[in-house]
Every structure is written in C-alpha cells, then in structure tokens.
C-alpha cells in the first residue's frame, strides 16, 4: 500500500496545482539512487566497495588515504559537511561538484579516522557521483537515466545536470510571509547527495523496483538495508544510502530531503507492504513529520 501526499499549489503566479506528473526537488532522497548506482557498478565488477577513494581522487591524498567507497556510502569516512570547506557552511547555488572537490583538497580535514564514527556528509556523496562518472564514462545524469530512471519507468524524474534541465516543467516552492508569501527558485546543480527532481508516482516506481528486485541482486539489496558498524563496534543506523532501523517498534528504512522550502520523505516499512511518500513545496509542511503521522495512523492495518 502506498500513500502520496501533495501540497496544493505548484506555482501560484501561474495558478498551477501540484499533481502526480509535476516534479519537485527531493534533495537528499537522491542519495539512495547514488548508492544504487555505485552498487550496480560493483555488481558489474567495475568498482569494489573496499576500493581506496584516493585511487579515484589522487588530489585528495593524503587527506582521504584509507577511506573506502563503503565509508562514503555509510557516512563513516570522517568527512564533515559543507561547513568543512565553506567558512559559513553555506554552499553557493552556483557551486559545481568539481569546485567542491577542489575546495575539499584545499581546506578539507577529517573529524575522525575512517570507520571510527558515523557523521552525515553530503561531501561524501559528491565524491561518489564523481566515481560513477569516472568509471562509467558518462555524466552522472546520463548514467542514472540509462541504468535506473529509464529501466524503472521514472519518466517524470530528471537530474540537475541534464543538458535540457532548463526546459523541464517543475514546481516552485514557498514560504509564508507577512505580506502573503514568497516563492523561491531552486537552482541547485550539485549531484550525488541530491540533484533529482521527481514525483511521488516516480518515487513509488523507485520503491517498487528496488524492493522487487528489478534493479539489484539480493546481496546488494541486503547490504543496502543493513546498518554499518564502526571500528570500535558501535552499530550505525545507516545502510547504503538509507537510514535503517525501527520506527515506533516497526522495522523501517527511510529517506528525507530538504532544500529551498522543499521537503521530502519516503518511509518503507519492511514486511508490511507499506510505503509512505510525502513531497512538500512549502515551508509550512515538514514532509518527514507528516509521513510519520500518516504511518502511525495506518499502522499495520489497511485503510477502510
């Protein structure tokens, strides 16, 4: 069973309502697709999760020596987030993946040795996107369309590095203001940690295809939803691109995203045949909170 929850207005100026075919920016929900892309390359023998990252990024020696691809996937590399390379922690909208990698080489530092702790890092997924491009010989978006979006029929999903990005219809986002409201245009172009515009219908196809074994083999799928372990034996509630664990006593894997007033959430309850997808284009609604409330209402019982 799946519930899709939409905010009402996609573009107030044009009087457009948000519908099942109009994409919104899903931000960090895209990490799950990046992780799947890496696993597809691993299944083909093109990369190994134990590969040293500096084999792909010589300029990041000695900073990342000993950091493996698996560490990047599980956020245990020791890399912090954007505050590590930008003094104010804010990444300019016009930033590119290549610029972030260059800044990381100039200013980067690790908060802990690789594998010693879990620390969420968008920068780690920037590096994973670069590995996908180096190994496949394709732009990140081209690879994703060819190996994931196309095969799963995700027709209304696109990537911000697509050559025809500007021609895609997409939702605007809003924040309530004293004088009525303010729209914000999301122009974020970094891929890997996010970079996808999608719909609840397409994310449903992603969910069904992934869990239905249409994309990855059983071993890869199991590893994606198995939490990691630090070098000191502490369990990590993050698999490969997904948070994993329990929610109110139920086994669950989930994703959340947020940027420029867009928020998104996908919660998959293992063994219950239930996924809740919430996409919001307004700062008034926090998608993951609403997703949690919906899942609590439904529980293990189908709707009447």
Each residue's pLDDT tens digit, 146-159: 999 999 999 999 99
Q: What was the pLDDT predicted at 9? A: 56
Q: What was the pLDDT predicted at 170? A: 81
Burial 197-207 (b: 16+ CB within 10 A, else e): bbbbbbbbbbb
Average pLDDT score over residue span 6-20: 56
Among 92-106, 179-193, 289-303, name the most confident range.
92-106
Q: What was the pLDDT predicted at 302? A: 43
What values do phi and psi take at 97, rounded to 5?
-60, -45
Give the global pTM.
0.91
Residue 80 CA to residue 170 CA, distance in Å, equals 31
pLDDT digits (tens, 9 = 90+) for 244-297: 998 888 899 999 999 888 899 999 998 888 899 999 888 778 888 888 888 888
**CA of 152: how far to CAs of 86, 98, 119, 260, in Å?**
37, 29, 31, 28
Model confidence at 14: pLDDT above 90: no
pLDDT digits (tens, 9 = 90+) for 231-249: 999 999 999 999 999 888 8
- How does strand 2-6 pair with strand 274-280? parallel
Percent of the chain with pLDDT over 90: 62
Q: What was the pLDDT predicted at 254? A: 93
Give the chain's domains with CATH numbers. 2-298 (3.40.710.10)
Q: What was the pLDDT predicted at 294? A: 87
Among 20-29, 162-171, 215-224, name the most confident range.
215-224
């Amino acid at each position: 069973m799946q519930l899709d929850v939409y905010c009402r207005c996609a573009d107030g100026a044009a009087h457009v309502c948000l519908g099942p075919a109009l994409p919104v920016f899903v931000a960090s929900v895209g990490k799950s697709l990046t992780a799947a892309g890496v696993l597809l390359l691993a299944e083909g023998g093109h990369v190994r999760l134990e590969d040293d990252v500096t084999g792909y990024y010589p300029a990041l020696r000695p900073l990342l020596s000993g950091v493996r691809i698996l560490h990047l996937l599980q956020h245990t590399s020791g890399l912090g987030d954007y505050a590590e390379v930008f003094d104010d922690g804010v990444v300019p909208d016009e930033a590119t993946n290549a610029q972030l990698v260059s800044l990381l080489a100039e200013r980067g530092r690790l908060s802990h040795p690789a594998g010693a702790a879990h620390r969420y890092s968008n920068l780690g997924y920037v590096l994973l996107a670069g590995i996908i491009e180096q190994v496949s010989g394709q732009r990140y978006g081209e690879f994703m369309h060819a190996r994931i979006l196309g095969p799963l029929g995700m027709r209304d999903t696109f990537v911000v590095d697509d050559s025809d990005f500007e021609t895609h219809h997409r939702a605007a986002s809003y924040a309530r203001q004293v004088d009525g409201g303010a729209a914000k245009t999301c122009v974020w172009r970094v891929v890997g940690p996010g970079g996808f515009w999608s719909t609840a219908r397409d994310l449903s196809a992603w969910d069904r295809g992934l869990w239905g074994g249409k994309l990855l083999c059983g071993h890869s799928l199991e590893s994606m939803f198995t939490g990691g372990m630090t070098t000191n034996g502490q369990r990590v509630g993050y698999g490969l691109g997904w948070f994993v664990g329990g929610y109110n006593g139920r086994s669950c894997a989930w994703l959340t995203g947020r940027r420029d007033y867009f928020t998104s959430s996908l919660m998959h309850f293992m063994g219950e045949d239930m996924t809740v997808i919430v996409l919001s284009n307004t700062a008034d609604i926090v998608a993951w909170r609403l997703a949690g409330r919906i899942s609590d209402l439904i529980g293990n019982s189908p709707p009447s």
